[in-house]
């Protein structure tokens, strides 16, 4: 398993899906571990009842069907599918409504990008411990996957892609409600991850390029070529 | 030029993983190497789930991992792969097939055993599967691909080297390119090969030289590796008295501290100059290479500096439209979504 994760750390992020399915076929006994520890690019399906799209992931999958959070129905239909309890379902409905608004406020929807093509995906998984004296333990695992491609006649192809994953734990008062607590944590961690991707990860790869072939202004004074006028 | 495109942004979706997982373990649904695009394919895959991988399939997977190793990381990938495969026969076979391809496509630079020079492993320097020519010292290095070392050297035979006429052009260009590489790359290595017409004795025939430049930087302690490689095909056309130049540049970088971010950039270009004496040709060719490589570096930097400004902002706003943090506290008081949308000014 450790070696498998090692491989995933090195394979090109744009080939994550191929690498994951290769590992699944080599290590069928570890499939649950692999699927839960390796985030793959998300796919969406349309909920037939609501004509709304929903995301397919490990967390709403049972056998080969995916449960839509909008209608609570499995697509394709599944007999004996597992459903959340009434209380959890209520939380799920609220959460999806709130996060739809959050998403609308934070992500510029389907905008056209000049010369750029790319995708940004965020997966947040939160575990909430039982309530003890008005406090609950929250553990948030966030993964951001991003891919940017530039194509141009003068600059060739430029692809920068990758994923980072971080965890955040907190004990918070449940008075404000789980959703409020979870939302704040997600917003905070997502912001941190975004800055890290931008400044640390993209910065590091840029630094590497400039180490390989430093731009003229960083070079120690080049010796003047005596043969040229 | 304008390239239209659509940004794929997926919505956040909240669900309760533990709940589903504790009751029924998820069943893996993509158990073979190709990912399903359609439902029909997915059904087929399930039928194949029980079938174990053939040796051939395992070998293909193993080679895929090795060949997709980032620059300078194939040995680490090999170690992990070996333990995942748990089948030494398949591993050895995969390594013996994949390493030579990887070494050649990444133009690996290996030191001579006596440290008097180095040989670049590439299809241009390849004499046989494990013998590579260093034209500068007129020596041939024997290469152990899997260990990535040069084990022996021998002087090159006359039939392996270009004619004195070609060598004049090759050597002059090698000198100029080395000078440029020494100035521009802190750890660059270059070599010039004759890939066609090496036995041409005098004026009146075409021939082709190839300039290979490579620079790598490995710092696993900083979780960062990278490589720059460029290949310049230089065709000397006797009849037209011109020299045609085709360049390919490829840059990669990998940063993997608690994540995996990779840059993969490529560019191709063309240029030409007039057929002159060896020294004058070398001089103008080195200038052409310097010019295009400098220009490409500038465009790479431009791509980077455009990232935070345009692309990132398009993808994810740092703050919502109201320039404040999301009002999580108030959400309960709103009759959900409607009032909230109003509040945020994102009414549709």
CATH label of the domain that carries residue A198 = 3.90.1150.210
Classify strands A116-128 and B8-9 as parallel, antiparallel or unpaired. parallel
CB B213 within 8 A of CB B222: no
Mean pLDDT of A145-170: 83
Q: Tell me the average pLDDT of chain A.
A: 79
| Residue (of A100, A42, A106) closest to A70 by Cα position | A100
Residue B204, number of CB atoms within 10 A of its CB: 8
What is the number of domains present in chain A? 2
Tokens coding B63: 């080679």
A218 part of a folded domain: no
Question: pLDDT tens, A171-204?
Answer: 988 887 888 888 888 888 888 887 787 777 788 8
Tokens coding B69: 């190793």
Instruction: List the Cα angle B275/B277/B279 in 5-degree steps.
Output: 115
Residue A195, number of CB atoms within 10 A of its CB: 13
Predicted pLDDT at B28: 39
The whole-angstrom distance between A135's CA and the closest CA on chain B is 17
What ipTM score was computed for the predicted complex, to two decimals? 0.79
Instruction: List the Cα angle B111/B112/B115 in 5-degree steps.
Output: 80
Tokens coding B105: 């496509």
**If pLDDT is split at 50, 70 and 90, which confidence band does A113 have?**
very low
Predicted pLDDT at B308: 60
Q: How far apart are CA B200 and CA B179, in angstroms?
A: 27
Dihedral angle computed from the Cα positions of residues B56, B58, B61 and B66, in that order, rounded to the nearest 10 degrees: -100
Q: How far apart are CA A76 and CA A79, in angstroms?
A: 10
Predicted pLDDT at A57: 76
Three-state DSSP at A134 gives coil
Instruction: Please identify among residues 130-159 of chain A the ones whose CB lies closer than 8 Å to any CB of chain B.
Output: 146, 148, 150-159
Identify the burial level of B243 via C-beta atoms within 10 angstroms of its C-beta, where 0-12 means exposed, 13-18 middle and 19 or more buried: buried
* Test the A interface: residue of B62, B221, B315, B335 with most A CBs within 10 Å: B315
Domain holding A7, by residue range, is 1-38
Sign (positive/negative) of CA torsion B76, B80, B83, B89?
negative
Question: Using a CB-CB distance cutoff of 8 angstroms, which residues of chain A are in contact with residue B46?
Answer: 64
The one-digit pLDDT tens for each residue of chain B (348 residues) are 222 222 233 333 333 333 333 333 333 333 333 333 333 344 344 444 445 788 899 999 999 999 999 999 999 999 999 999 999 999 999 999 999 999 999 999 999 998 888 999 999 999 999 999 999 999 999 999 999 999 999 999 999 999 999 999 999 999 999 999 999 999 999 999 999 999 998 888 999 999 999 999 998 888 999 999 999 999 999 999 999 999 999 999 999 988 899 999 999 999 999 999 999 999 999 999 999 999 999 999 888 887 765 555 555 544 444 445 677 766 554 444 444 455 555 443
Q: List helix spans (H) across chain B.
A: 17-23, 39-48, 55-67, 74-85, 88-105, 164-184, 278-306, 312-315, 338-344
The whole-angstrom distance between B113's CA and the closest CA on chain A is 25
Tokens coding B298: 């500038």
Range(s) within chain B of domains with CATH label 3.90.1150.210: 162-312
Predicted pLDDT at B344: 52
CATH code, residues B162-312: 3.90.1150.210
Residue B262, number of CB atoms within 10 A of its CB: 24
Predicted pLDDT at A218: 61
Q: Pick the residue with more confidence: A65 or B181?
A: B181
Q: How far apart are CA B139 and CA B213, in angstroms?
A: 19
Residues A116 and A200 in one domain: yes
Taking the complete model, does pTM exceed 0.90, yes or no?
Answer: no
User: Is residue A159's pLDDT more than 80?
Assistant: yes
Minimal-distance CA residue of chain B relative to A104: B346
């Amino acid at each position: 398993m450790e070696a498998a994760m090692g491989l995933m750390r090195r394979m090109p992020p744009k080939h994550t899906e191929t690498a994951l399915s290769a590992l699944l076929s080599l290590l069928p006994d570890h499939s649950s571990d692999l699927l839960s520890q390796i985030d793959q690019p998300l796919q969406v399906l349309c909920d037939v009842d609501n004509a709304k799209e929903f995301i397919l992931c490990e967390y709403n999958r049972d056998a080969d069907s995916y449960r839509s959070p909008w209608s609570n129905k499995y697509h394709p239909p599944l007999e004996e599918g597992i459903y959340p309890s009434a209380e959890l379902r209520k939380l799920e409905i609220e959460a999806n409504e709130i996060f739809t608004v959050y998403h609308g406020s934070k992500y510029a929807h389907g905008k056209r990008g000049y010369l750029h093509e790319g995708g940004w995906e965020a997966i947040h998984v939160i575990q909430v411990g039982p309530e003890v004296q008005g406090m609950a333990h929250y553990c948030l695992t966030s993964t951001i996957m991003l891919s940017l491609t530039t194509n141009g006649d003068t600059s060739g192809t430029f692809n920068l892609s990758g994923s980072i994953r971080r965890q955040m734990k907190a004990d918070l008062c449940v008075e404000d409600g789980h959703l409020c607590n979870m939302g704040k944590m997600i917003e905070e961690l997502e912001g941190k991850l975004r800055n890290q991707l931008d400044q640390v990860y993209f910065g590091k790869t840029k630094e590497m390029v400039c180490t390989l072939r430093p731009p003229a202004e960083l070079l120690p004074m080049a010796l003047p070529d005596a043969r040229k006028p | 030029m304008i390239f239209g495109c659509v940004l794929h942004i997926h919505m956040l979706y909240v669900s309760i993983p533990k709940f589903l997982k504790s009751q029924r373990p998820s069943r893996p649904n993509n158990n073979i190497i190709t990912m399903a695009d359609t439902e029909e394919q997915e059904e087929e895959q399930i039928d194949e789930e029980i079938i174990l991988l053939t040796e051939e399939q395992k070998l293909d997977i193993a080679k895929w991992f090795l060949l997709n190793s980032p620059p300078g990381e194939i040995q680490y990938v090999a170690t992990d792969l070996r333990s995942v495969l748990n089948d030494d026969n398949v591993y050895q076979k995969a390594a013996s097939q994949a390493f030579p391809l990887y070494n050649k496509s990444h133009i690996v630079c290996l030191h001579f055993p006596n440290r008097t020079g180095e040989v670049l492993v590439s299809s241009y320097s390849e004499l046989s599967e494990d013998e590579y020519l260093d034209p500068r010292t007129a020596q041939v290095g024997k290469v152990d691909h899997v260990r990535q070392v040069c084990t022996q050297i021998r002087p090159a035979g006359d039939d392996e080297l270009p004619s004195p006429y070609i060598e004049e052009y090759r050597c002059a260009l090698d000198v100029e390119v080395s000078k440029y590489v020494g100035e521009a790359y802190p750890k660059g290595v270059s070599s010039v090969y004759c890939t066609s017409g090496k036995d041409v004795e005098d004026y009146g025939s075409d021939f082709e030289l190839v300039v290979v430049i490579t620079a790598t930087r490995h710092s696993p302690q900083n979780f960062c590796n990278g490589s720059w490689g460029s290949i310049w095909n230089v065709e000397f056309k006797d009849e037209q008295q011109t020299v045609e130049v085709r360049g390919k540049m490829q840059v990669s970088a990998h940063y993997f501290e608690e994540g995996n971010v990779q840059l993969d950039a490529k560019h191709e270009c063309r240029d030409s100059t007039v057929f002159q004496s060896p020294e004058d040709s070398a001089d103008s060719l080195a200038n052409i290479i310097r010019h295009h490589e400098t220009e490409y570096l500038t465009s790479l930097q431009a791509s980077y500096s455009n990232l935070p400004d345009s692309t990132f902002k398009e993808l994810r706003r740092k703050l919502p439209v109201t320039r404040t943090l999301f009002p999580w506290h108030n959400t309960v008081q709103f009759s959900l979504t409607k009032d909230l949308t109003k509040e945020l000014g994102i009414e549709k």
